[in-house]
C-alpha cells in the first residue's frame, strides 16, 4: 500500500510520533501551526485548510491538532470552540468531498466522571469543562458530515516530546523536595507513541481495504490498560526516574483549577480490540518503555 496522508498538528505530542509511524505507509505531508516542522497550516484558516486538502488529495487526513490547554479553555472559549468543534466539522466536509478517510482524536473528558465502571463508546457524554464540551461538539459535527471517519478517544497523554504531566514531574523532581499531587482523579495515562502506533496499524488496514472505512466509521476508545490516579502516575515516574522527592497525595478540592475534571474517566477499549485486534499494554509498561527511550536518547544526544 502507498497511501497519501495529510497530517495536521505534527508538532504536538501525538502528531510528532505520527510522523514516524505513518512514514512507512506512503507519502506523508506533515503540517504544523508554526511551520517549523512540515508545512505551515493554521487550522483556523478555513481557506488554507480547504486548499491544502484539495491540492494534496489525500487518502487519509489525520488531525492531531487541537486546543488542549484544559484550564486555559475556560477563558478561551471561542478559540477552543473554533479549533475543537468547528475545525473537525470543516475537515469532515472536506474528507467527504474528496472521498478521504479522516482520523481524529477526542478525549475521556467528554464524560462527567461519575461512572463506576470504564466508559464505553455509547455511554452518555456529559462534559464538565469547556475543553470536554468543545471536543464533544467536534465529534458530533464531524460525524454529522457523513465522512468516513474514525475518532479515537484517548486519555492522559504523555511522551518525551511536548508539554505533559510526565515531563512536568521530571522537571519538578529536580527542583523540589516535596510535591502534592491529586489522588482522587482516576484515569489511564497513555503514551503518545502508542496512539501513533495504533493509528498507523488502522491506516494500514484501511489502506488495503478502503471499502471498510465506511462501515468501520465511528468512535473508538484508545487508551493504555489499567488505571491510576495522578498521584499514582507521579509515584511511578519517580520510581522509574531514580530521582528523590516526597510525593504527598491530596484531594482535588485542595488543588483548585479553572476547569473541572472528571473524577473517573477510565475508558473501555473492547471495541478497538474486537474490531482491529489491538489492545494496548498496561500503562506502567508503556511508561517504563517511554522513560527507557528517554534515557537512551539522553545517553546518545547528551
Ligand atoms: N494531551 C492529552 O492529555 C489528551 C488527552 C485526551 C485526548 N487528547 C487529544 O489527542 C489529540 C492530540 O493531543 P496532543 O496531546 O498531541 O496535543 P498537543 O501536544 O497539545 O498538540 C496539539 C497541536 O495542535 C497544534 N495547534 C494548535 N492550534 C493550531 C492551529 N490553529 N492550527 C494548527 N495546529 C494548531 C499545536 O500547535 P502549537 O503547539 O504550536 O500551539 C500542537 O502542536 C487532541 O485531539 C487532543 O484533544 C489529548
User: Tens digit of pLDDT for each residue in 52-73?
Assistant: 999 999 999 999 999 999 999 9
**Residues in the chain where the model's pLDDT stays below 70:** 1, 301-302
Query: Residue 249: inside a domain, yes or no?
Result: no
Look at residue 255 and tell me if it is in a domain: no
Closest residue by Cα to residue 107 from 204, 29, 220: 220
The CA 244 to ligand 1 mean position distance, Å, reads 31
Contact 90, 46 (CB under 8 A): yes
DSSP codes of every residue in 194-256: HHHHHHHHHHHHHHH-TTHHHHH-EEEE---BS-EEHHHHHHHHHHHHT---EEEEE-GGGS-
Q: Catalytic residue at 300?
A: no
Q: Is residue 245 situated within a structural domain?
A: no
Grid cell of 26 as nine digits? 506512503
Q: How many domains does the chain have?
A: 1
Query: SS3 of 178, please?
Result: strand
299 domain residue, yes or no: no
Q: Is residue 253 domain-resident? A: no
Tell me whether residue 53 is in a domain.
Answer: yes
| Residue ranges making up the domain that contains 116 | 3-162+190-224+266-280
pLDDT tens column, 224-253 = 999 999 999 999 999 999 999 999 999 999
Determine contact, residues 187/265, Cβ cutoff 8 Å: yes
CATH no. for residue 76?
A: 3.40.50.720
Are 129 and 260 within 8 A, CB to CB?
A: yes
Which residue owns the Cα nearest ligand 1 atom 37?
33
pLDDT for the residue 208: 77
Q: Which residues line ligand 1 (CB under 6 A)?
A: 9, 11-15, 32-34, 42-44, 64-66, 68, 83, 105, 107, 135, 154-157, 162
Q: Which helix (H) or strand (E) holds 190?
A: strand 190-191
Of how many residues is the chain composed? Answer: 302
145 falls within a domain: yes
Residue with CA at minimum distance from ligand 1 atom 45: 105
How far is residue 145's CA from residue 85's CA, in Å, rounded to a whole number?
13
What pLDDT, on a 0 to 100 scale, did the predictor assign at position 219? Answer: 98
- Is residue 72 assigned to a domain? yes
Burial of 211 (0-12, 13-18, 19+ CB in 10 A): exposed
Q: Is residue 19 a contact partner of residue 28, using CB atoms and an 8 Å limit? A: yes
Q: Which residues, other chains included, contact 231 with Cβ-Cβ below 8 Å and sequence gap of 6+?
A: 181, 182, 183, 247, 249, 250
Alpha helices by DSSP H, 68-220: 70-73, 77-81, 87-98, 130-144, 165-175, 192-208, 212-216
Which one of the listed residues 119, 131, 220, 264 is annotated catalytic?
A: 131
Amino acid at each position: 500500500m502507498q497511501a497519501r496522508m495529510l497530517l495536521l498538528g505534527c508538532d504536538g505530542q501525538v502528531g510528532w510520533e505520527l510522523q514516524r509511524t505513518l512514514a512507512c505507509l506512503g507519502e506523508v505531508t506533515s503540517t504544523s501551526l508554526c511551520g517549523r516542522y512540515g508545512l505551515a497550516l493554521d487550522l483556523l484558516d478555513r481557506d488554507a485548510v480547504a486548499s491544502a486538502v484539495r491540492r494534496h488529495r489525500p487518502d487519509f487526513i489525520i488531525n492531531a491538532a487541537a486546543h488542549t490547554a484544559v484550564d486555559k479553555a475556560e477563558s478561551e472559549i471561542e478559540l477552543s470552540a473554533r479549533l475543537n468543534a468547528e475545525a473537525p466539522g470543516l475537515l469532515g466536509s472536506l474528507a467527504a468531498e474528496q472521498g478521504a478517510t479522516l482520523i481524529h482524536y477526542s478525549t475521556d473528558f467528554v464524560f462527567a466522571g461519575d461512572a463506576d465502571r470504564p466508559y464505553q463508546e455509547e455511554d452518555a457524554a456529559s462534559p464538565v469543562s469547556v475543553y470536554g464540551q468543545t471536543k464533544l461538539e467536534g465529534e458530533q459535527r464531524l460525524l454529522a458530515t457523513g465522512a468516513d471517519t474514525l475518532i479515537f478517544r484517548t486519555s492522559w497523554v504523555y511522551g518525551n516530546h511536548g508539554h505533559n504531566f510526565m515531563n512536568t514531574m521530571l522537571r519538578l523532581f529536580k527542583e523540589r523536595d516535596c510535591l502534592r499531587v491529586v489522588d482522587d482523579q482516576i484515569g489511564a495515562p497513555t503514551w503518545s507513541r502508542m496512539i501513533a502506533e495504533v493509528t498507523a496499524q488502522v491506516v494500514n488496514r484501511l489502506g488495503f481495504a478502503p471499502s471498510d472505512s465506511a462501515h468501520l466509521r465511528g468512535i473508538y476508545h484508545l487508551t493504555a490498560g489499567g488505571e491510576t490516579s495522578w498521584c499514582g502516575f507521579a509515584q511511578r515516574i519517580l520510581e522509574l526516574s531514580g530521582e528523590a522527592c516526597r510525593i504527598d497525595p491530596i484531594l482535588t478540592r485542595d488543588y483548585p483549577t479553572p476547569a473541572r475534571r472528571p473524577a473517573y474517566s477510565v475508558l473501555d477499549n473492547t471495541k478497538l480490540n474486537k474490531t482491529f485486534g489491538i489492545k494496548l499494554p498496561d500503562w506502567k509498561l508503556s511508561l517504563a518503555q517511554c522513560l527507557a527511550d528517554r534515557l537512551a536518547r539522553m545517553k546518545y544526544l547528551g
